[in-house]
Amino acid sequence: MVESRQGPVVTSDREPSVWRRVRDLVPIVLIAIAFVALWELLIRVVPDSIWPRYLFPGPAQVATSLVSLWTGGLLLRAVVATLARLGVGFLISLVLGAILAFLMVHFHTFGKGIQPYVLGLQTFPSIAWVPLALIWFGFSEAALLFVTIVGSLFAVTVSFADALRTVPPVYLKAARNMGSDGMDLILRVTVPAALPHLISAAKIGWSFAWRSLIGAEVIFATVGLGFLVNQGRDNLNLPQVMGMMVVILVIGVLVDRGVFSRTQEWASRRRGLLPSG
């Protein structure tokens, strides 16, 4: 047997080294530094008479504001509250989206009929759900969750359905031939076969959930990141407004890179879908 003497062709399921991860971070950090430097430069060049400082604070003022929010405990409370809402809302969205997507793929006619509505609802601005949420649930946690869920559910459904459709029929055929069917077939074949695409789908869904939640918080929350942005506006505290925007951005980047990109990479690497280099 000629081939069994050869080693494995590629060994690409190795984790990238720590050094590689650090190296990947360098350009990202450099961009942040450049941005802050440019910002500071603008503050020094543009005279206060043209663009008053209270409307256009510099990085130092923003940082000071963030530090005081942190030491006062407000910031941490807001982060915890927002992430908790996001966690619950996004999870519900994932479960409902998975069920809907499965029904759409499994029942072809149903899927075809409902597809345009789901697509329409996906592009529907989540803020437009806020009045309905307030009337149904009042100024409550439930209203915030509602907006988070409806703001992400349809994006999750569409991308989950797309992910499920990528499963090559021959895998299902082979598995059915070996006696698998029903739930067994879904869990043993459909889900693992679609996994890299399912993770991308979850990533899309999370960004929708995050956007919807922050939006709703700006409008009517009494605690949370979006609330702190709006509180800054109410007090004409521009450093707080900008500072909170930075926090929201940073959390977005961290979740995207830390959670989704890493799981995605892991799933693809296991399948040999990524080069090892």
Partner 1 sequence: MKGAALKLVMVGKRFKGKAGPTEALRDINLNISEGEFVTIVGPSGCGKSTLLNIVAGLEESTTGWVEMNGHRVHGPGAERIVVFQDGAVFPWLDVWGNIQFGLRVAGVRRAERETRVEEYVRMVQLEKFAHARMHELSGGMRQRVALARALVLRPRVLLMDEPFAALDVHTREEMQTVVQDLWLKSGTTTLFVTHDVREAAVLGGRIVVLSQRPGTVSAVLTNNAPRPRKLDHPEVAEQIRRSNEILKAEVQWSNQDKVPL
- With contacts defined by CB under 8 A, name the span among 59-67, 154-162, 220-228, 265-273 that binds partner 1: 265-273
* Residues contacting partner 1: total by CB under 8 A: 32
- Select from 7-15, 67-75, 135-143, 256-264 the region that touches partner 1 (CB under 8 A): 7-15
Copy the structure tokens of residue 42: 């603008």
- Residue 270 binding partner 1, by CB under 8 A: yes
The only residue of 27, 177, 182, 234 in contact with partner 1, by rule CB under 8 A: 177
Is residue 277 close enough to count as binding partner 1 by CB under 8 A? no
Tell me the CB-side half-sphere exposure of residue 202, using CA atoms within 13 A: 22
Distance CA 182, CA 217 (A): 41
Comparing CB distances to partner 1, the nearer of 2 and 33 is 2
Cβ of residue 4: shortest distance to partner 1, in angstroms?
5
Q: Which long-range contacts (CB under 8 A, 24 or more apart) does 123-131 make?
A: 124/154, 126/150, 126/151, 126/208, 126/211, 126/212, 126/215, 126/216, 127/215, 127/216, 127/219, 129/212, 130/215, 130/216, 130/219, 130/220
Q: Considering the rule CB under 8 A, would residue 266 count as an interface residue with partner 1? A: no
Decide: helix, strand or coil at residue 167. coil
Pick 250 or 273: Cβ nearer partner 1: 273
Q: Which one among 195, 216, 238, 241 touches partner 1, defined by CB under 8 A?
A: 195
The single residue among 193, 216, 221, 229 that binds partner 1, judged by CB under 8 A, is 193
Among 1, 18, 55, 135, binds partner 1 (CB under 8 A): 1
DSSP 8-state symbol, 126 = G
CB nearer to partner 1: give 187 or 249.
Answer: 187
The verdict on 192 binding partner 1 (CB under 8 A) reads yes
Q: Find the binder of partner 1 among 10, 25, 28, 95 (CB under 8 A).
A: 10
C-beta closer to partner 1: residue 186 or 255: 186
Indicate which single residue of 53, 173, 233, 257 sits in contact with partner 1 (rule: CB under 8 A). 173
Q: How far apart are alpha carbons 262 and 96 in whole angstroms?
A: 24
Task: Choose the binding region for partner 1 from 34-42, 76-84, 183-191, 219-227 (rule: CB under 8 A).
Answer: 183-191
The torsion angles phi and psi of 124, rounded to 5 degrees, stand at -65, 125
Q: At what angle do helices 238-255 and 191-220 cross, to 10 degrees?
A: 170
Cα(124)–Cα(91) distance, rounded to whole angstroms? 20
Token pair for 95: 């479960």
Among the candidate windows 52-60, 164-172, 209-217, 218-226, which touches partner 1 by CB under 8 A?
164-172
* Residue 116 found at the interface with partner 1 (CB under 8 A): no
Please name the residues in contact with 185: beta carbons below 8 A apart, sequence gap of 6 or more. 172, 175, 176
Amino acid at 264: Q
**Interaction site with partner 1 (CB under 8 A):** 1-4, 6, 8-13, 168, 170-171, 173-180, 184, 188-189, 192-193, 195, 270-273
